[in-house]
């Protein structure tokens, strides 16, 4: 299964409220749902929780395989792209196609708060070593953090490394009950231990609430 991330930022000429409203209520109508699209979620950033990322949210779409991803892009991607300048700052977008490893089954989209951790391995660490340690060492450490209700590791597709080194090696998704649980988790000794395991050289972090559009 392909899990595609499209990180976006609001157009400077519109407010954040108008940005989220347009994204949720109008943008999905820019093109009909393709039969090969399995799921589409909009993760809207909760700015009050801070974070180092520059984005206001991420569109997340799932397809069965890379062929389906290409086919949907060919069939309806142009219509979506034509609508994006109406609410998105097109100078501040970024995409990442990944495959998922479920560490702990996530809650259904709703009131839970999701932490989105975009990561790049430290210099000198090979990709196979990073992937192995992220799954076998880092994930168990994160599972000790209080309040984690779901955990997903999304690895950048192998194909992305064919021509150049991608900016990011993956995305971690962590779910919590609410904002207070996020604050408690991020300041916990367990999170400090997990964050200091030497795997990550760069990261971009933000917190969001999911809006299920298609499933």
- pLDDT at residue number 30: 77
- pLDDT at residue number 78: 80
55, 4, 24: which is closest to 213 by C-alpha?
Answer: 24
Do residues 202 and 51 touch, judged by C-beta distance below 8 A?
A: no
What is the distance between the alpha carbons of residues 131 and 189, in angstroms, rounded to a whole number? 24
108, 115, 156, 150: which is closest to 134 by C-alpha?
Answer: 156
Write out the two tokens for 200.
Answer: 């990550």
- pLDDT at residue number 139: 98
Average pLDDT rounded to a whole number, residues 31-45: 89
What is the distance between the alpha carbons of residues 96 and 122, in angstroms, rounded to a whole number? 19
Q: What is the pLDDT of residues 66-109, one digit of tens each?
A: 998 888 888 777 888 899 999 999 999 999 999 999 999 988 77
- pLDDT at residue number 28: 87
Q: 130 phi and psi, to 5 degrees?
A: -60, -50
Do residues 95 and 6 touch, judged by C-beta distance below 8 A?
A: yes
Assign residue 204 the CATH number of its domain: 3.30.70.100
Q: Is the pLDDT of residue 35 over 90?
A: no
- Please, which pLDDT band fits residue 206 given cuts at 50, 70 and 90? very high
- pLDDT at residue number 141: 97
Q: What is the pLDDT of residues 138-168, one digit of tens each?
A: 999 999 999 999 999 999 999 999 989 999 9
Between 108 and 38, where is the model more confident?
38
pTM of the prediction?
Answer: 0.95
- pLDDT at residue number 110: 79
- pLDDT at residue number 125: 97
Average pLDDT rounded to a whole number, residues 175-200: 96
Q: Is the pLDDT of residue 33 over 90?
A: no
Q: What is the pLDDT of residues 15-30, one digit of tens each?
A: 999 999 999 999 988 7
Average pLDDT rounded to a whole number, residues 186-201: 95
In total, how many domains does the chain have?
1
Residue 110 belongs to domain spanning: 2-214
Mean pLDDT of the chain: 94
CA 3 → CA 65, 82, 199, distances in Å? Answer: 9, 22, 23
- pLDDT at residue number 32: 74
């Amino acid at each position: 299964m392909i899990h595609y991330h499209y990180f976006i930022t609001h157009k400077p000429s519109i407010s954040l409220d108008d940005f989220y409203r347009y994204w949720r209520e109008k943008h999905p109508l820019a093109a009909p749902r393709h039969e090969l699209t399995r799921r589409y979620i909009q993760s809207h950033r909760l700015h009050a929780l801070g974070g180092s990322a520059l984005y206001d949210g991420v569109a997340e779409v799932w397809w069965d395989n890379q062929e389906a991803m290409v086919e949907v892009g060919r069939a309806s991607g142009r219509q979506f792209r034509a609508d994006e300048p109406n609410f998105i700052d097109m100078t501040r977008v970024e995409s990442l196609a990944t495959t998922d490893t479920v560490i702990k089954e996530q809650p259904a989209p709703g009131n839970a708060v999701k932490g989105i951790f975009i990561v790049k391995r430290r210099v000198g660490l090979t990709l196979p070593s990073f992937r192995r340690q992220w799954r076998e060492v880092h994930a168990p450490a994160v599972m000790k953090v209080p309040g984690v209700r779901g955990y997903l590791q999304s690895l950048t597709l192998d194909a992305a490394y064919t021509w150049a080194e991608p900016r990011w090696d993956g995305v971690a998704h962590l779910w919590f009950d609410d904002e207070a649980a996020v604050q408690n988790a991020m300041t916990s000794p367990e999170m400090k231990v997990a964050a200091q395991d030497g795997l990550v050289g760069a990261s971009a972090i933000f917190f969001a609430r999911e809006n299920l559009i298609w499933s």
